[in-house]
Amino acid sequence: MEHRWGMAIDLDRCTGCEACVAACHAENNLPLSDPAEAEKGRAFHWIRVDRYYEGEFPDIRMKYMPVLCQQCEDAPCEPVCPTYATYHNAEGLNVQVYNRCVGTRYCGNNCPYSVRFFNWFEPEWPEPLELQHNPDVSIRPGGVMEKCTFCIQRIQRAKRDAKAEDRAITDGEVQPACVQSCPAEAMTFGDLDDPESKVSRLAASGRATRLLEDLGTKPKVFYLQRAK
């Protein structure tokens, strides 16, 4: 395995501004919802910002927590897919192959983080809104499951660039769209197998935790808790 991609999110920096959410929509051609579909719980946000009230008025604080696919090492979504549409790739990513997906939604049912989204409706972009589409990312048809890919197209691109220049990918060279956009610089992406990478160092920090760690899913997203 060349790399093991992971992310660290510093909740002490995160302000809940949702720049990451918009970045993800722009990068990954997420389908537009409408109020009726959204009301049925069918809107798409591969990354969302959960909020937790801490304390009671007037001594109240808010904790914001961006939640995306945790790219679990032992992913509950993978073994239940009858068509191998969701599988573990060599770099530890939970990859979704749209062409194989037949829409059983077992994976979504099994995901404890609610980060998988089913295309309940055919995506529509009234002309000329489709001009904004990122050509690096395919449009998903109705009836298939989709989710955060850690911007695999950006990873591939970095690999190609590095290969063309006959060098290794440098730390920080790959940035998923959410990480790239974050104004508070709360998010860090990199190779967890490289002990010198920034993400590895953050993951080893005393503030690092993982979401629903007790489920044994071994997520590759680390949350650095807010300092007291």
For residue 177, the number of C-alpha atoms closer than 13 Å in the C-beta half-sphere is 24
Is 34 one of the binding residues for other proteins (CB under 8 A)? yes
Is 152 one of the binding residues for other proteins (CB under 8 A)? no
29 touches 130 (CB < 8 A): no
Q: Among residues 128, 166, 206, 214, which is the contact residue for other proteins, using CB under 8 A?
A: 128
Question: How far apart, in Å, are the Cα atoms of 165 and each of 37, 160, 161, 214?
Answer: 46, 9, 6, 43
Among the listed ranges 68-76, 79-87, 96-104, 157-165, the one in contact with other proteins (CB under 8 A) is 157-165
Minimum separation from the CB atom of position 20 to other proteins (A):
8
223 touches 63 (CB < 8 A): no
Q: What are the residues facing 63 on neighbouring strands?
A: 52
Is 186 one of the binding residues for other proteins (CB under 8 A)? yes
Q: Among residues 88, 133, 159, 198, which is the contact residue for other proteins, using CB under 8 A?
A: 133
| Contacting other proteins within 67-106 (CB under 8 A) | none
Among the listed ranges 25-33, 77-85, 189-197, 214-222, the one in contact with other proteins (CB under 8 A) is 25-33
Q: If binding means CB under 8 A, how many residues of this protein chain bind other proteins? A: 67
CA gap 9, 223 in Å, rounded:
5
CA gap 31, 124 in Å, rounded:
7
Comparing CB distances to other proteins, the nearer of 5 and 118 is 118
Helix (H) or strand (E) holding 180: helix 177-181
CA gap 54, 219 in Å, rounded:
24
Q: Among residues 129, 141, 209, 216, which is the contact residue for other proteins, using CB under 8 A?
A: 129
Minimum separation from the CB atom of position 88 to other proteins (A):
23
Residue numbers of the site for other proteins (CB under 8 A)?
A: 10, 12-19, 21-23, 25-27, 32-35, 38-43, 45, 48-51, 53, 56-62, 64, 108-109, 114, 117-118, 126-135, 161, 164-165, 177, 180-186, 224, 227
